[in-house]
Structure 1
Amino acid sequence: MKRTRTLLAISAIVLIGLPAAALAFVKPLRVVAPSLMPGIVCAQPNICIDDASALGTAEQLYQTGYAKAESAVGPFRQAPRMVFCTTARCADSFGIGGRAAEAVGNFGTVVAPRGWTPFYVAHELIHHRQAEELGNLAVATKPRWLIEGMAYALSDDPRRLSEPFQQWRTRFDTWHAALGAGDLWEAAKAVR
């Protein structure tokens, strides 16, 4: 009896403690429950922000990026969650560092202050669709030219990218053009 209680207590601690530890130490995972972060308000189910006065701009970016990504890679299974940070402090609380934005699989995306552009938002939403179609593990293990190249190319990122990003976009464009009318996701699943 005492052993059973001990096992139940340990199980409860692990079930509660493990997710809490993950959120505490793996900052990008905080996008799973952004409203638990100080100063983050989820004004809509899929849009969270650290400064409510910028909500209108965030909503517009979300809608524009969503439409672009959906047009490029198909409809979303569920509306992605995005956290829009107006400050570096907010972005740092999600572990973004110097990046403009980061999609955490199909769990959500954090957009840092410099990522507030339609092409960055579309880029990250394309990563969300990749996770939906290919799986979170595949997005982490598929060739970078496919994963990043697709996001850069299909988001209509207007910049001349540094290497290896420009090479990845070019390789994806070549591969994508050769598909013709073929199914993007079936072809992407076959890439090793």
Structure 2
Amino acid sequence: MKFKHLLLAVTLTCAALPATTLAFIKPLRVVAPTLMPGVACPLPDICIDDLARLADAQALYREGYAKAASAVGPFRQSPRVVFCSTQACADTFGLGRRAAEAIGNFGTVVAPRGWQAFYVAHELIHHRQAEMLGNIAVATQPGWLIEGMAYALSGDPRHPLGEPFEQWRSQFEAWYAGVGASGLWASAREVR
């Protein structure tokens, strides 16, 4: 009898874990964005909270994708991007004041103020980093490599950035000048 109760408890816990994770860890909601109120995924790689803005989102996706792929190489899979046209949508994904956020290679969320190609490219560069280096490496590698790369190669027009981001961008640019595009990923794997 105890075995049946234990088995039932384990089964219920395993069944509830994904829903619990989505409920309490907002960024992970990008894994299943259509579970969030008002968000639809009319295309495999684009989700949005306002279908009237789909054409704008598609144009930003294409431009950001092209810029990122040109800078860091082709993607293994087309990244999914959730475009939030309202702050309420962005808050659903836990963005707070951020313009956008990549959740490893699971997906990206773009807040209303992030609807610019350089923000999309920046986050897609993070997606590519996760593909090439792994999600854990992206979270643990030095800021100058991870954020510096995204700021330097996304075409971010803001100069200077606030610190430490401007310093990280400069440090990455100096390192990148020595390794070049062809040595980017092999050299990045060696950084500690």
TM-score by length of 2: 0.97
> What is the match of residue 185 of structure 1?
185
| Residue 182 of structure 1, CA deviation | 4.5
Tell me: CA distance 1:163–1:181, structure 2 relative to 1, closer, same or farther (3 Å): closer
> What is the match of residue 6 of structure 1?
5
> What is the match of residue 131 of structure 1?
130
Letter in 2 for 1:16: A
Tell me: CA distance 1:31–1:181, structure 2 relative to 1, closer, same or farther (3 Å): closer
* Secondary structure, aligned partner of 2:102: strand
| CA RMSD after TM alignment | 0.9
**How many residue pairs were aligned?**
191
1: CA distance, partners of 2:10 / 2:136: 27
Mapped contact 2:72–2:181 kept (Cα < 8 A):
no
Matches within 5 A, 1:163-182: 163-180=163-180, 182=182
The unaligned stretches of length 5 or more in structure 2 are none
> What is the match of residue 106 of structure 1?
105
2: CA distance, partners of 1:153 / 1:21: 37
Letter in 2 for 1:93: T
* Secondary structure, aligned partner of 2:162: coil
> What is the match of residue 94 of structure 2?
95
Note the alpha carbon deviations across 1:133-171, whole angstroms, 9 max, x for none: 000000000000000000000001000111110000000
Letter in 2 for 1:126: I
Mapped contact 2:122–2:154 kept (Cα < 8 A):
yes
2: CA distance, partners of 1:73 / 1:14: 40
Identity %: 66
Note the alpha carbon deviations across 1:56-99, whole angstroms, 9 max, x for none: 00001001101111010011010111000000000000000000
